[in-house]
Amino acid sequence: MTGPSDSRVVRVWRGDADDGELVDFQVEAHEGEVVLDVLHRIQATQAPDLAIRWNCKAGKCGSCSAEINGRPRLLCMTRMSVFTQYDEIVITPLRTFPVIRDLVTDVSFNYTKAREIPAFVPPPGLGPGEYRMAQADVERSQEFRKCIECFLCQDVCHVVRDHEENKSAFAGPRHLMRVAELEMHPLDTADRVPAVQDQHGLGLCNITKCCTEVCPEGIKITDNALIPMKERVADRRYDPLVWLGRTISRRRD
């Protein structure tokens, strides 16, 4: 437990796309502080050019994602008090994305993938102000819309974490969840089931739930988004009756 004020060694990865190393900083940590506070103190007093991406410092924007002792976390929501005096504190950039500098990575992969998910398709003929939806029906998608796009789920997912070759075929948990969000949106009219398997790579997910575990918003990504989508794919493709029906109709053609 960090006391009212405590001096700690914090090891921070510093470097760029070519090369880098862990650098030790001896730094004060005060009561109630989070890791980002301590990194800011290092910036202000020891390494003014230490690169950190952050914004709201309140767990709402999802900018300050990094790995602390190997675990993907938000720097602003990780309190120093979670480390005992015997714990090392090692802060490294997200491993799945290319490093730009120090703790800042190039997360453009996520924005490219976001563009590949077809947008909301509103019901034809329903004007603004005429939308009627029950609270119980919007709640499923609302859970997914809590996502702050910190991309920790994308970072932890083993499909892409050490497998660059999977990136082109796999949208990642955040965006598969976006497909689920639209699929479960009470008024979205598009059929999103075929594409989630064929274009966004849902089949590569083998539901190890790592994404759910690291989500700072506590969204049940696997249980509530990915598995239901897998069920919809399975219902459509592998239901024996549907298969039989499809085979017969194909023969008739």
Partner 1 sequence: MTDTERHEADVLVIGAGGAGLRAAIEARERGLRVAIVCKSLFGKAHTVMAEGGCAAAMGNVAEKDSWQVHFRDTMRGGKFLNSWRMAELHAQEAPDRVWELETWGALFDRTADGRIHQRNFGGHTYPRLAHVGDRTGLELIRTLQQRIVALQQADHAETGDHESRLRVFAECTVTELLTDGGAVAGAFGYWRESGRFVVFTAPAVVLATGGIGKSFQVTSNSWEYTGDGQALALRAGADLVDMEFVQFHPTGMVWPPSVKGILVTEGVRGDGGVLRNSRGERFMFGYVPDVFKGQYAQTEDEADRWYDDQDANRRTPDLLPRDEVARAINTEVKEGRGSKHGGVLLDIASRLPAEEIKRRLPSMYHQFKELADVDITAEPMEVGPTCHYVMGGIDVDPDTGATAVPGLFAAGECAGGMHGSNRLGGNSLSDLLVFGRRAGIGAADHVGGLAARGGRRPAVHDEDVDAAAELALAPFARAAGGVDEDGAAGENPYALHADLQRTMNDLVGIIRTEAEMTAALDRLAGLRARLRDVVVEGHRQYNPGWHLALDLRNMLMVGEAVASSALRRTESRGGHTRDDYPTLDARWRHRVLVTHTRTDGPADPVVPRVAVDVAERDPMRPDLFALFELEELEKYYTPAELTAHPEGGTP
Separation between Cα atoms, residue 75 and residue 1, nearest integer Å: 18
Who contacts 135 (Cβ-Cβ below 8 Å, separation ≥6)?
Answer: none
Residue 102 within binding range of partner 1, rule CB under 8 A? yes
Please report whether residue 51 would count as binding partner 1 according to CB under 8 A. yes
**111, two tokens:** 């924005």
Sorted by sequence, the CB contacts under 8 Å of residue 240 that are 6+ apart come out as none
Q: Binding residue for partner 1 (CB under 8 A) from 24, 88, 111, 164?
A: 111
59 binds partner 1 (CB under 8 A): yes
CB-nearer residue toward partner 1: 62 or 173: 62
**Concatenated DSSP letters for 91-148?**
EE--SSS-EEETTEE--HHHHHHHHHSPPP-PPTT--TT-----HHHHHHHHHHHT--
Among 142, 168, 189, 208, binds partner 1 (CB under 8 A): 142
Smallest gap from Cβ 40 to partner 1, in A, equals: 9
Looking at 50-58, 189-197, 219-227, 245-253, which segment touches partner 1 (CB under 8 A)?
50-58
63 part of the interface to partner 1, by CB under 8 A:
yes
132 touches partner 1 by CB under 8 A: yes
Size of the site for partner 1 (CB under 8 A): 61
CA distance 57 to 38: 12
3-state secondary structure of 159: helix
Of 66, 89, 148, 153, the one binding partner 1 (CB under 8 A) is: 148
What SS3 class is residue 42? helix
Query: Any contact of residue 1 with partner 1 (CB under 8 A)?
Result: no
124 near partner 1 (CB under 8 A): no
The label of the residue with tokens 């918003």 reads 217
- 114 forms part of the interface with partner 1 (CB under 8 A): yes
Separation CA 109–CA 218 (nearest Å): 23
Among 3, 98, 118, 194, binds partner 1 (CB under 8 A): 118
The yes or no reply on residue 7 touching partner 1 (CB under 8 A) is no
Q: Estimate the crossing angle of helix 173-184 against helix 108-116, to 10 degrees.
A: 30
Structure tokens of 96?
């799945």
Query: Pick from 10, 25, 27, 62: which binds partner 1 (CB under 8 A)?
Result: 62
Q: Where does this chain bind partner 1 (CB under 8 A)? A: 16, 30-34, 37, 43-45, 48-63, 77, 79, 100-102, 104, 106-107, 111, 114-115, 118-120, 122, 126, 128-129, 131-135, 138, 141-142, 145-149, 182, 185, 188, 218
